[in-house]
Amino acid sequence: MSTKSWCLSIAIGALVTASDTVFASPAQFNYVGTVTYTDGTLSGVSIGNVVSGTFSYDPSTAPNLTLGSTLAEYQLPGGQINASVGGHAASASTLSAQIQNDFNGNVEDTVALSGGSPAIIDGVQGTNASLYISLASKYGNTGVLSSTALPTSFDVAAFDAWAYGTLQRDGTASGTILEFNVTSITAVPEPGTGSMLMLGLGGLGCAVRRRQSDK
């Protein structure tokens, strides 16, 4: 096999492998948002501050409770969610999810991810503190979710009714510490995906250099 053919074979194989390996296991996601409300509990945090965080769960987990064909609830052992804003941190395990597909009401498709029992805020475990993200599409917008399965990707813009997160000290609206709009949610690639992608691009570069040297 010629050097050029060898380079192209490596490049194509690596790029195909990288494209086939998208999600980590369990599925992990990064999200970004902006603060829309704060009760002042978190010093130095104000409206407009950037919120960033991650959440993870196993998409293959079977529903703990299925409510008809349009609504499913999941208990997600090992699932986690966290948030960071203005030097403050919150995290929660015992993640649960509610997936609603074509509800045919005020909203259509919804995803609600909740971690608590309880959440930890700046290293202190609250009695009933919780951290959650909620996404919903407007009535008539039925194409966001195709089933009640746990999503492996999120098109935040498609959830046109709301996309927000909340940090609460006691699980009640009156105990809300922070609210934020969610602007993006991106999947975290498998650890090997990045290296395979770089190998593929390197192989393509090798082939290009070889072609140029042959001229």
Tokens of 203: 């192989």
Task: Walk along the chain (215 residues) in steps of 10 and give the mean pLDDT of each run.
Answer: 48 41 71 98 97 92 77 90 98 93 89 90 92 96 92 96 95 90 94 49 50 55
Percent of the chain at pLDDT > 70 equals: 76
Enter the pTM of the model. Answer: 0.77
152-180 pLDDT tens trace? 999 999 999 999 999 999 878 889 999 99
What whole-number distance in Å separates Cα of residue 32 and Cα of residue 212? 43
Between the alpha carbon of residue 91 and those of residues 22, 67, 83, 183, 195, the distances in Å are 25, 28, 6, 19, 30
What whole-number distance in Å separates Cα of residue 43 and Cα of residue 78? 30
